[in-house]
Every structure is written in structure tokens, then in C-alpha cells.
Amino acid sequence: MSAPILRGERRGPVWLSPRAVGWLGFYGLILLSWIAVALMARGLPGAELADVPAEFWAALCASAADANPIALWAMWALMATAMMLPTFVPALRTFNDLSATGATTGIGAAALVAGYVAVWLVASVLGASTQWALARQGMLTPAGASLSPWLTAALLFGAGAYQFSAFKASCLAKCRMPLTFFMQHWQPGPAAALTMGLRLGALCLGCCWALMALGFVGGAMNLIWMGAATLFMTLEKLPEIGRWLSRPAGWALILAGGIVTLRALQLV
């Protein structure tokens, strides 16, 4: 006869629990996305490809004007996944906390993440199309950075002004209160979790699209810009921190746009 299981005793190591495995998979996806983006950045013109498979990365890192559309979309999809999944941690943690009541399962959590990522994969089509169109006009470097001071100023002014918009404030308020969101939209089952993930992805897109567009200022594949933007967007979604960041960042971006404009006019 097997020994009885004492109250509070668990079978097997805690780190092998389905929830722990799920979190490992989630952070593993983020890590792999960042590794892939870093490898692509190494393969841009002027850098050595080293051990990266030449044919694959050459297609992804080609000048956007001549790149295969699918390869360019893949670049944006990896970049969006690497940057936006970290901002999704509070919502995913809240969703997983509901599993303590039996309201959700690991499959539901996976469906939630899938819905969120799906929105950004679709948004990557727009990002890749914009980069391709601007590159065709000679307005971007192969790394996706603006060559036009007027484009740079427009992006900075636009992103700065958007920080003050009512639409962004509405989306950001919902992103900062994931429990309230789930209470409003909760339905059981993986299909409902997928729908909620799509809703959260759309809200996140409403919060962050203008900041993502600033990639054309620093370079779409600039790892320093990507890291700084990821950190800012993650902190902006935290209620106690984010409320002190949004408006100052808006003024800073508008000021930067003004400086770029004055330089373009050779006034400074």
C-alpha cells in the first residue's frame, strides 16, 4: 500500500507544475524572439552574418525596398513579439490567478496569449508595408531609420501628441486594470480566452502603435531603441508608475520634434 499524501503535500517538484511550465514557455518565447531579432540586427548591411544561416537571414535583412514581403513581415512579427509580450505579463498573471478558483486552465492561458499575439502579427503587416513604401521612396536606411528630417519630426510630433489623446487614455486605462477587464468580459472556455486575448491585443495596439512607429526614427532593428521602448511600454502599463510617465514622455517627444524641425530649417 502506498503511503498516504499529507495535507498540503504536493506530488513532484513545484517547478514541474503545469503553471510553471506555462510561464517557462512564455518567457522562452520572449527570449527566442529577442535572440532572433539580435541575429537579424547582426545581419544588416555593414555587419557580419557569422554563423547565421546565410540564405535565411540575407532574405530577412535585405533592403526593405527589395525585400521579400513575407521576409519583411517576419522581421516585424518577431520584433513585435519580442517587444510586446513583456508588456502582457500583468494581464497574463491576472488571468492565471483566476485558475486558483478553477475558472480557467492552462489551455485557456495559451489561447489568451495566442489571441494577443495574433493582433500584433496582423499589425506587423502594416508595419512591414509602411517600411517597404518608405524605403521605396528613399526615406529609410536599410536598417529602417529615417533619412528625412521631416519624416522624423512628423513621427515625433505624432507620437508626442498621441500621448495626450483620449483614445490612448481609454486603452491605457483598461490595460492597467486587467482584473476589471476580465470581470467585464469573462466567459469560460478556450474560445472565450482567445477572444479576450484579441480584445487585449487591440487595446494594447491602441496604446502603443505610435510609440512603435518611432522605430522609423531610431531604426526598426535598433536594439537599443527596442529595449528602451519595451521598458517604457511595460512601465507605462503599471498603474502606480505609468501615470507619471505618459504626459512627460509626450512633452519630451514634442520637444524633440521641434528641435528636429528647427535643425531642418537650419535655425539651430
Instruction: List pLDDT tens digits, range 217-259.
Output: 877 778 888 899 999 999 999 888 888 898 999 999 999 999 9
Please name the amino acid found at residue 178: P
Least confident of 12-26, 54-68, 121-135, 179-193: 54-68
Nearest residue to 54 via CA among 42, 66, 68: 42
Confidence of residue 73 (pLDDT cuts 50, 70, 90): confident
Asked whether the beta carbons of 203 and 175 are under 8 A apart, the reply is yes
Is it the case that residue 54 has pLDDT exceeding 80? Answer: no
Is it the case that residue 49 has pLDDT exceeding 50? Answer: no
Which neighbouring-strand residues pair with 146? 140
The rounded mean pLDDT for the chain is 82
Least confident of 17-26, 116-125, 145-154, 228-237: 17-26
Domain ranges of the chain: 14-97+105-264
Asked whether the beta carbons of 215 and 151 are under 8 A apart, the reply is no
Confidence of residue 67 (pLDDT cuts 50, 70, 90): low
Residue pLDDT, tens place only, 138-155:
888 777 788 889 999 999
pLDDT of residue 102: 66
> Can you tell me which residue has the cell 518611432?
214
CA distances from 61 to 33, 227, 235 (A): 16, 19, 30
> Can you tell me which residue has the cell 547565421?
52
Confidence of residue 105 (pLDDT cuts 50, 70, 90): confident
Confidence of residue 132 (pLDDT cuts 50, 70, 90): confident
Confidence of residue 100 (pLDDT cuts 50, 70, 90): low
pLDDT of residue 44: 53
Axis crossing angle, helix 18-42 with helix 106-136, rounded to the nearest 10: 10
* pTM of full prediction above 0.95: no
Is it the case that residue 1 has pLDDT exceeding 70? Answer: no
pLDDT of residue 168: 94
pLDDT of residue 232: 93
Please name the amino acid found at residue 226: M
